[in-house]
């Protein structure tokens, strides 16, 4: 019953098998190997983007920061939601990589900006000539940090607004697969067909060891990104081991089946939670994350039984038994219906 995060579980066995398979003989370093060339092609295929520039790095923060640095100037501001990972959880990495770009926090229900809140935020910037920060890229998180998902229509509306001001659109897809599986559309539809210019195509939170693909649909950004990646110390020498992970990820849609597994576990949890009185669900869970409140007594039962998850506020070990305390549950590919049901049973009391 580990619902602490989608980076605490095991790597899918296929990924380890792919690493082993890749470990034969000699290969050119720094991405010059055949495996990397093939993995790049496979990413292009998945995104129906034969000209896209594709790169692999090992951390989502690196992918996000390097992309935003490539798309922005240091005197600009990036538009992102108040709860965006790039704002809350990257310890100023985007500011560091971009040379001091600002982040403008765009509000919105359910951890999502809207075309309207974005427009309002854009209009409020670049009103002071050269004196204020200039308008820069827009960055969406899909799925969001609260487990919600932008619909295709929402993405398209946001991109229309961004394009109106000639601003590039980035998608932080640390949980890209969960969102895509939930929407049931194609990777192309969720990205360039909806106006997205660059994507962090996450793997680490979805069963890989440590790989994120960076995708620019316009290859003009390729060379600058290569320099930024190397200067940022994110160019792997034994690059075939990044490529091998991506290959196993895309083979026979493993990435989608893993996302389905975690999303299904999440849905099962949600359905169970809805049936339990005194459980309040705070956002509409559309991917693999749940924010909910339940009683301290239930928190205590769960922890006593070894369940792992974050209680977000308050001391669950002491206080009124019926006080509601907030929790976050994240399911990963390895979550099982049995564990979900066991968790619900204990919660139910």
Shortest CA distance to 11 belongs to which of 308, 288, 333?
333
Q: Closer to its own copies by CB, 101 or 181: give it.
A: 101
CB under 8 A: which stretch of 132-140, 253-261, 269-277, 318-326 binds its own copies?
132-140
Question: Which residue in the set 34, 41, 45, 88 belongs to the binding site for its own copies (CB under 8 A)?
Answer: 88
Q: Closer to its own copies by CB, 50 or 128: give it.
A: 128
Measured from the Cβ of residue 134, the count of other Cβ atoms closer than 10 Å reads 17
Q: Rounded to whole angstroms, how far apart are CA atoms 104 and 56?
A: 28
* Shortest Å distance, C-beta 99 to its own copies: 5
CB under 8 A: which stretch of 67-75, 248-256, 274-282, 318-326 binds its own copies?
67-75
Exposure class string for 176-196: b at 16+ Cβ within 10 A, else e: bbbbbbbbebebebbbbbbbb
Q: Closer to its own copies by CB, 236 or 343: give it.
A: 236
Residues 27-56, mask of contacts with its own copies (x by CB under 8 A): xxxx--------------------------
Instruction: Give yes or no for residue 9 binding its own copies (CB under 8 A).
Output: yes
CB under 8 A: which stretch of 13-21, 114-122, 164-172, 246-254 binds its own copies?
13-21
Instruction: Give yes or no for residue 336 binding its own copies (CB under 8 A).
Output: no
Q: Rounded to whole angstroms, how far apart are CA atoms 142 and 145?
A: 8
Q: Closer to its own copies by CB, 186 or 308: give it.
A: 308
CB under 8 A: which stretch of 43-51, 89-97, 261-269, 285-293 binds its own copies?
89-97
Shortest CA distance to 136 belongs to which of 154, 112, 118, 151?
118
Residues in region 143-182 near its own copies by CB under 8 A: none
Instruction: Give yes or no for residue 91 binding its own copies (CB under 8 A).
Output: yes
Categorise residue 102: left if φ over 0, alpha if ψ from -120 to 50, beta otherwise: beta
Instruction: Give yes or no for residue 73 binding its own copies (CB under 8 A).
Output: yes
Q: Rounded to whole angstroms, how far apart are CA atoms 40 and 35?
A: 9
Q: What is the helix, strand, coil percentage profile of the chain, to 5?
A: 45, 15, 40
Q: Rounded to whole angstroms, how far apart are CA atoms 311 and 326?
A: 6
Question: Which residue in the set 103, 199, 269, 287 belongs to the binding site for its own copies (CB under 8 A)?
Answer: 103
Q: Rounded to whole angstroms, how far apart are CA atoms 155 and 158?
A: 5
Sheet holding 310-311, edge to edge: 280-281, 289-295, 324-330, 310-311
Q: Do 94 and 68 touch, CB atoms closer than 8 A?
A: yes
Instruction: Give yes or no for residue 134 binding its own copies (CB under 8 A).
Output: yes
Residues in region 221-280 near its own copies by CB under 8 A: 224, 226-228, 230-238, 241
Interface ranges with its own copies (CB under 8 A) = 2, 4-5, 7-11, 13, 16, 19-20, 23-30, 58-59, 61-62, 65, 73-77, 88-93, 95-103, 128, 130-134, 204-205, 209-210, 224, 226-228, 230-238, 241, 308
């Amino acid at each position: 019953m580990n619902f602490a995060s989608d980076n605490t579980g095991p790597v899918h066995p296929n990924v380890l098998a792919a690493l082993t398979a890749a470990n034969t003989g000699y290969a050119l370093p720094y991405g010059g190997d055949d495996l990397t060339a093939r993995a790049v092609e496979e990413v292009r295929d998945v995104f129906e983007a034969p000209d896209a520039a594709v790169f692999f790095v090992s951390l989502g923060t690196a992918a996000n920061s390097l992309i935003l640095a490539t798309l922005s100037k240091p005197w600009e501001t990036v538009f992102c939601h108040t709860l965006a990972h790039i704002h809350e959880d990257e310890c100023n990495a985007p500011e560091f990589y971009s040379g001091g770009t600002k982040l403008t926090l765009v509000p919105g229900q359910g951890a999502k900006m809207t075309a309207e809140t974005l427009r309002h935020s854009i209009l409020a910037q670049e009103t002071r000539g050269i004196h204020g920060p200039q308008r820069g890229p827009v960055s969406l998180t899909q799925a969001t940090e609260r487990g919600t998902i932008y619909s295709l229509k929402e993405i398209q509306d946001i991109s229309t607004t961004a394009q109106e001001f000639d601003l590039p659109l980035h998608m932080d897809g640390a949980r890209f697969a969960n969102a895509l599986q939930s929407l049931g559309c194609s990777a192309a539809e969720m990205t360039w067909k909806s106006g997205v210019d660059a994507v962090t195509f996450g793997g680490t939170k979805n069963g890989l060891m440590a790989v994120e693909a960076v995708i620019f649909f316009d290859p003009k950004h390729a060379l600058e990104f290569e320099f930024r990646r190397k200067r940022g110390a994110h160019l792997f020498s034994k690059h075939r081991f990044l490529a091998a992970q991506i290959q196993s990820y895309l083979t026979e849609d493993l990435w989608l089946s893993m996302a389905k597994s975690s999303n299904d576990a999440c849905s099962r949890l949600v359905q169970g939670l809805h049936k339990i009185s005194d459980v309040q669900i705070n956002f509409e869970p559309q991917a693999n994350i749940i924010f909910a409140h339940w009683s301290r007594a239930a928190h205590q039962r769960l922890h006593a039984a070894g369940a792992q998850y974050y209680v977000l506020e308050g001391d669950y070990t002491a206080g009124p038994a019926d006080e509601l305390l907030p929790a976050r549950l994240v399911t990963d590919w390895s979550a099982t219906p049995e564990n979900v049901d066991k968790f619900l049973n204990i919660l139910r009391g």
